[in-house]
């Protein structure tokens, strides 16, 4: 299989991974709104696995792209737009467009979820402070951290 076909296959796998990530982020948003914290933890683990897989795919794509660049004997860094310009293969433009659109949607979802997490943490901190001010003993000290 040629480097071009390998790159396209990896890009398709990345699209599938990013679609799965988008789906998880939408589920996470619903869980944050409904305050279903146990489900959020499970989704977080799934997101980590998807992100690890996407990093591996991206590293493989970069390795193959570098091999293609050396074969083409060019000093330019090969990106999808340049590969299209060199080869005329419109699949690269379509895949690039789909990836850009999907990554923008994921970025927006992630920002919204981050806002929901911040608000939830604020709510819990304020509730904890109120309970302490009223003299209600909470088992141990409530410690909150934010992982993004």
pLDDT, tens only, 17-51: 999 999 999 999 999 888 888 898 899 999 999 99
DSSP secondary structure of the chain? --HHHHHHHHHHHHHHHHHHHHHHHHHHHHHHHHT-HHHHHHHHHHHHHHHHHHHHHHHHHHHHHHHHHHHHT--SPP-HHHHHHHH--HHHHHHHHHHHHHHHHHHHHHHHHHHHHHHHHHHHHHHHHHHHHTTPPPSS--------
List the CATH code of the domain at 3-133.
1.20.58
Q: pLDDT per residue over 88-126, tens digit each?
A: 999 999 999 999 999 999 999 999 999 988 887 888 788
Whether the predicted pLDDT of 74 surpasses 90: no
| Mean pLDDT rounded to a whole number for the chain | 89
Which of 11-15, 86-90, 120-124, 142-146 has the least mean pLDDT?
A: 142-146
């Amino acid at each position: 299989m040629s480097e071009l076909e390998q790159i396209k296959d990896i890009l398709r796998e990345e699209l599938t991974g990013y679609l799965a990530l988008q789906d998880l982020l939408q589920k996470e948003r619903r869980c944050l709104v409904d305050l279903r914290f146990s489900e959020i933890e499970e989704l977080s683990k799934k997101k980590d696995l998807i992100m690890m897989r996407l990093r591996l795919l991206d590293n493989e794509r970069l390795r193959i792209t570098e091999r293609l660049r050396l074969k083409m004997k060019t000093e330019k860094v090969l990106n999808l737009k340049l590969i299209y310009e060199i080869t005329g293969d419109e699949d690269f433009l379509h895949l690039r467009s789909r990836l850009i659109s999907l990554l923008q949607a994921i970025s927006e979802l992630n920002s919204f979820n981050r806002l929901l997490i911040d608000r939830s943490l604020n709510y819990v901190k304020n509730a904890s402070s109120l309970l302490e001010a009223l003299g209600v003993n909470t088992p141990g000290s409530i410690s909150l951290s934010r992982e993004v």
